[in-house]
Each structure stands twice: as C-alpha cells, then as structure tokens.
Structure 1
C-alpha cells in the first residue's frame, strides 16, 4: 500500500513539475511581432514560397513585406528553392490559367494569369506567347511575331525584350537562358548546320550583342567531326519500329545549357534527332554519335539535371516500349545508360506514338508523355532510378488538363527583371 501511495505521489510530483516548466516556457515565449523587422524578414525568407504567399493574408505587415527591398535581399541569400514546374497546356484556351507542379508539396498549384504583353496602338489583339526557356526564377516566352518577353511567374512581373535585328531572318534552332539575382541572359542558336552562330541578350545592358559564328570541331585528322564517324546504336537486335521523330511545337527550341570546367555549353536537337553541342566559350560545335539508326528514333529529348546533359529516348522493340536515360561518357567516347523506366510502367506507351518532353531540376526530371491516346506525367529521380507517376490535374469543372511539356524554375519572389 505504501508503494502504491509513493508511486501516485511521484506521478503527481512529476505532473506538477511539468506544469510549472510549461508555465515558465509560456511566460518566456514571445510573439513574431516582437521580432525586429530585420530578423523577422530573415526568418520568413526561409519559408517555402507557397507557404509565405499563404501567410501574407495574416496581417498587413506581412503582406507589405513581399514588396520590401530588404526582404527580397534576404530571400536572395537563400541558396536553393525546391523547383516548380510551369506546365504548358495542349489547349491554348487554358494557357490563360497557368498551373505549376510544386515538387516540395507534391501537388498542383494555380497561378495568376501573366500579363505578358499589352496590345499596341492600332492593334486589336496581343501576340500569342509560348514558354521556350527557364532559369532561376524566370521564364522566357516567345511570340508568334518573333518577340521575346521574360516573366516571373510568382509575382507576374514582365519585361519585353528589344526586337532582334536583321539576323533574325535566320531560323532559330535553340533558345536557352541563364539567370541570377542580378541579371539574366538569353542565348539563341541560329542558322543551318554546318553554318551556325549564336546571339546573346544581356539584361544588364538591355540589348542584343553581336552574333558570333560557331566553327565545327576538327578532329586529330584535320577533318570535321561527323556523327556517322562514331556510330553507336544501343539496339543491336530486336524488332525496331521505324517512325518519324515526334516533336511538340512547344519544345521546338528545346535546349540544355551547362557549365563544364568554366565553359558554357549549349546542347540542342537537330532536325534529324542528333544531339548538337555548342561550346559558347570556345565558339565550337559538333554532333554526337546517334543513339539509334536514322529513321529509328521514336521520340527523343535532352534535359539538364545537376549541371549535366542527359538524353531521354522512347523507343519500341519486342512489342514493348522502352524509356531510357543516357549520358555521354567523355573518356569512353560513348553513350552510357544511367536510368530506365521499369518495363511494367513503360509498356502502356507501346504503339501510342507518344511524344516525350522533359524538364530537369537537381537530381530529378519531369517527363511529359503525350499522344492522341495517352497523357501521363512522370517524375524520375536519376540518382535512385525511381519513376513516380503524378496525379492528373483537373479544371474547376472536373475535366482533366493535358500538358504537353513543362519548364522548371525556382519560385523566387525576389527574381528581378
């Protein structure tokens, strides 16, 4: 009986001590309002962008903070934001209601319509803009009449780029961009292989720089390197289905820009499906060996992930579809497979004439697969070779939205244009 009483007394004593401890903590607790402005901004700058935007409705002080120069400076010091993927609709009518996939919260989010361009005087309507490149917190749009505009999808701020000069008469083969907290650059590859050149826009000067020719890389024998000199086909047997390479018009300027050993290298796909490498630092270009024989590519795309360029290829053989990711091994001078979708998942794309379009961020890439019969979005972790199909996105009237491609960007409130 004494033991029972003692046990109950110990329990009461512990509860009393816990309550006193909580009372002390409650007395020492302070509210966010007691933080000085500088410290408060530093704390809030580390919140995920979607969380901060929701919290702006808490009070006028927090709402006004989004426009504070010191808060934007604090946000710029956050080294990395979990990327959002700006989705491109197959239906132009729905493009007025942009949607992003939040890779951190793993859900779809609606954005406010982007005021890309206002109609000029004596014009009845605006040009039709489509996204063509993204970097940092910005997305570049290209219009049907050849204009460019850059926008921050989070804040809606937009900047119209000065028109190109006469060189714009050459066909554009690839469009890419780089952006940091101080400026952004657009890079265009123009011309016809082997007569290529690149042209760059610099936001700090607000003008296009002079075009620079690209010379074809010469090998040790004094000859221009050609893709048929080092043919390599990863399918050496089986029943390969011949088909025209599928390309979405939204990705006709698809490119991947990397920095390797201090050299800027832009990759794009030629009209025949070969990967073309343009070394902007040394002003050289060459074509990589083909992954499949000519007329055998089914659908191919390039993507930048973690500072590396990868090729994603969908092909058909043995009455099944295969989606594989390849990386160029400079030492072996050959393509190396680094990831592949499990056959059980890729088989459903067999015979569907699927167009594959990719967007990368860090170790992950979002793969959009589209055709008249199927529409699917898959997130792939290249390090773990994990493939996860994303849920469908629905309109307000419960209709499934079909996206043809995506552009990854960091949701940065401070991204200035």
Structure 2
C-alpha cells in the first residue's frame, strides 16, 4: 500500500508485550483469540500474517479449548457469496462466515450437511459435492460418487467426523429399499454402493419399540398392529403450502452412539417427503422407521436434530403443533426401554402462541446442548415479537431456556433478513478439507 507521496507504507509491528513474544508463544496466544478475530488476523502485521499460515499455528489451534458453535444462517432469498451470515452462540452476535473459494462450481451450491468445523455443499444441478471450512474459506471438491441404480432417488446426505470425515449418500425407494454410498476423506475415495436392510428399531437405534411386521405396513405407514410409522412434517392442510428450504431437502441429523472397536457408530436420521422419520445405522447397514409423536388428526410441523457430545449422541424431534386455540413448540426424545416419547423441553407459551394460525414450518439444528429452531411462515410477516410469524430461537436443553435471536440487517439494502434454516459448526482454523 502506498501513501499520497507514492512511498510504500510498512505494516506496523505490534509493540509492547505481544511484540516481544517468542514465535511459539505468539502462536499459542493467537490460537486462543475469538474465532471472529481470525478474519482480521492477517491484516494486522506481517509477523501475524506469517504466523497464521504456519503449520505450528494450526497445531496450536487444535490444542485450543472447544469453541462455542456458530450457526450458518440460510435464507430462501438469493444472496451473494459475500453475504454468508453466521450467529456466534457464545457471543450472541452476528458474524460473517467465508464462503468456499472459486473452486465451488456455478450455479452456487447450497449447504446440505456439517460436521466438526466443516460444511458440505451440493450443486443443485449436478449433485457435485464440495467440503469447505467456513472460517478460512478453504474448499475441496469431492470426486464423483458411484452411479446410483436406475430410478434410485437421493433421500439424504449425512456427514460425520472431521479428521478424517465421512460423507454418506442414502438412496433408494422407500418404504422397503435403501442403499448408501460412503466417502472417506483419508482415502479420498467412495466405497461401492451397499444395500441397507430394513429392520425393527432396536437398542442400536434411538428406539426399542416393536415396529410391527413389515409386510403389514400399508402405503400410509400404518401397521396392522395399530402402530403408525408416519410422522407428518406439516400436516394434511399445510403440506401443499409450506415447503422445506432447498438446503434441507436432503438433511440428515447424525448421532454418534457408543463405539465398536474404538470407532463411533453413526446413525443418520432424516425425514421422507411424507414426513416419515427414518433412522439408518451406517455401521450395521440397517434402517428402521420410528413411531410418531402425535395423533394423525393433529396439524403440526416437525424436524429432527442431533444433540450431545461429539457429532451428537441424542436424536430429538422438535414439534410445532396447535391445540386449544394456541400453538406449542416442544422437543421430544424417544425412550427405547419404555417405548414412549418423552418431552425434554418446551418453548414458553407466551412465545409459541405467536405461531398460532400462521401455518408455520420449523427447521432445526442441534449442537452440544443447544437446539436452534428457525420458524418460517407462509403468512406475510417477519419478527415474532411484533405480532408477525417468523423468527429464530436457541434453546439450552439443560435449563430449558429459550432466547430469540436479535434481528439481523443482512438482507439486500440492509433490510432485516428472515432466516428459514441453519447449519451448525465449530469454528476451527485447523479443520482441514
């Protein structure tokens, strides 16, 4: 950079204690900066810029304590690449996440999954997959997956792990046949497509209830024993007017349950078009449908999330329903031993009542002990607090504390943005694509 006299100006080196630190100690200090500071790290001085590119700095970042999650916010409105908005859960503030670099093909893909500090993008026209670190902007295009059998439809895209990470495509024809293709980043290769066997929910899946005989299930998922394995996302009335965000069409919530030989056992949970909740045990290559939460006569919207340590150890269902001239938003967990759903959290009635009669849709994501719920409505309106019908909320499951996110002026020309969904990730500089 040159000043008005045409002479180049040198970046100022930090003075005081920071300027006197040994390189190793400096990297340890920088590695513990708030994640948002990493966007400005390379612009401070040459020494800090060099340190931020050092392998030892990334190693120091890996030793830093776990970070509070960031939530990448998604809007149905088209936004430029520079407008990737994230919410910092720890700071309770908005931040800007970096989109992956120019290696991402056009038209711009949409995020479909996340694991650790990484996000997975999918091109809507070609299905090409790209993994990106939203903190650094680094990206990597995955090789094409194996060709699916003719007529096999993509139902879900799951991602788990970080170093290495795995991407799983779940394909097939429900309710009877599913298969999967798995990518391993350590080998940079896909495994051959493997069939998944249908089974009753057992102790390795998040349910122990008797799923009924498979040959007795009718086209609506109603078993001959009276058990119903259909869980409507929006209800009969709302299905024709409320659609999932494009980023959520192939969403899967992944739990990492126990271990087998030291390796976690991933289970991917996703919703079918009709709203059936399907759990796929990736390690055992089996899948099962879970019982529903509410009677079929109820009108409700739902989504499935994963919460807990690691990639998530609990599969939860978030349900927005209407009853007795009010709306309730509750979080449920299936108790396998009892064969029943148990409520683990509920939004205060004063907050949830704002959604009554709005035909609202919920899209949710979990991280650790938090669940973010994005509520959007086909009704005209914006913020919930002003009598309108959309908003984003974070629930601390341990305390059942609910908070509405502050409005974000990230829309075109600075107007308030309405977000319909989110993906969670832990902001880590060292997360390698």
Check whether TM > 0.5: yes
The CA distance in 1 between the partners of 2:104 and 2:270, in whole Å, is 32
Aligned pair in 2 of structure 1 residues 215, 79: CA closer, same or farther (>3 Å)?
farther
> Is the 8 Å Cα contact of residues 212 and 227 (structure 2) preserved in structure 1?
no
Structure 1 unaligned runs (5+)?
1-29, 120-125, 234-239
Question: Which residue is 2:282 aligned to?
Answer: 280
Match of 1:400 in 2: 416
- The alpha carbon displacement at 1:56 in A equals 4.1
Given that 2:211 and 2:227 are in contact with CA atoms closer than 8 Å, whether structure 1 keeps it comes out as no
Equivalence for 1:174: 156
| 2:90 is the counterpart of 1:108 | no
Match of 2:79 in 1: 93
Seen in structure 2, the aligned counterparts of structure 1 residues 118 and 148 have a Cα distance that, compared at 3 Å, is: closer
Q: Which moves more between the two structures, 370-379 or 160-169?
A: 160-169
SS at match of 2:238: coil
1:136 is displaced (CA, Å) by: 0.9
Please give the secondary structure, in 1, of the residue aligned with 2:140.
strand
* 1:255-404 correspondence runs (5 A): 255-262=252-259, 263-294=265-296, 296-306=298-308, 307-372=313-378, 373=380, 374-395=389-410, 397-404=413-420
The answer on whether the counterparts of 1:311 and 1:326 sit within 8 Å (CA) in structure 2 is yes
C-alpha distance 286-98 of structure 1, shift in aligned 2 (>3 A): same
Distance 2:94 2:413 in 1: 16
Q: Say whether 1:149 aligns with 2:103.
A: no
Instruction: State the aligned residue count.
Output: 376
Match of 2:52 in 1: 66
1:250, distance to aligned residue in structure 2 (A): 2.2
Scaled by the length of structure 2, the TM-score of the pair is: 0.81
Alignment deviations for residues 380-414 of structure 1 (CA, whole Å, 9 cap, x no partner):
11111111011111037330111110000111111
Indicate the SS of the match to 2:28: helix
1:322 Cα deviation after fit: 1.0
Q: 1:300 to 1:118 in 2, by over 3 A?
A: closer
Deviation at 1:358, TM superposition (A): 0.7
What secondary structure, in the 3-state scheme, does the structure 1 residue paired with 2:27 have? helix
Between Structure 1 and Structure 2, whose CA radius of gyration is higher? 1
CA distance in 2, matches of 1:66, 1:270: 44
TM-score, reference length from structure 1 = 0.83
Instruction: Say if 2:62 and 2:430, in contact at 8 Å, map to a contact too.
Output: yes
On the 8 A contact 2:267/2:282 being kept in 1, the answer is yes
User: In 2, Cα distance between the equivalents of 1:313 and 1:72?
Assistant: 41
Write out per-residue CA displacement over residues 227-246 of structure 1, whole angstroms, 9 at most, x where no aligned residue.
6457489xxxxxx9852344
Question: Structure 2 stretches of 5 or more lacking a match?
Answer: 1-15, 202-209, 260-264, 381-388
Aligned equivalent of 1:249: 246
Instruction: Tell me the distance in 1 between the aligned counterparts of 2:46 and 2:211.
Output: 70
User: Residues 381 and 387 of structure 1 are in contact (CA less than 8 Å); yes or no, is this contact kept in structure 2?
Assistant: yes
For 1:265-303, what per-residue CA distance to the aligned partner results, in whole angstroms no more than 9, with x for missing partners?
Answer: 111112222221111122211111111234645211001
What secondary structure sits across from 1:166 in the alignment?
coil
SS in 2 for 1:345: helix
Give distance in 1, aligned partners of 2:119 and 2:97: 14
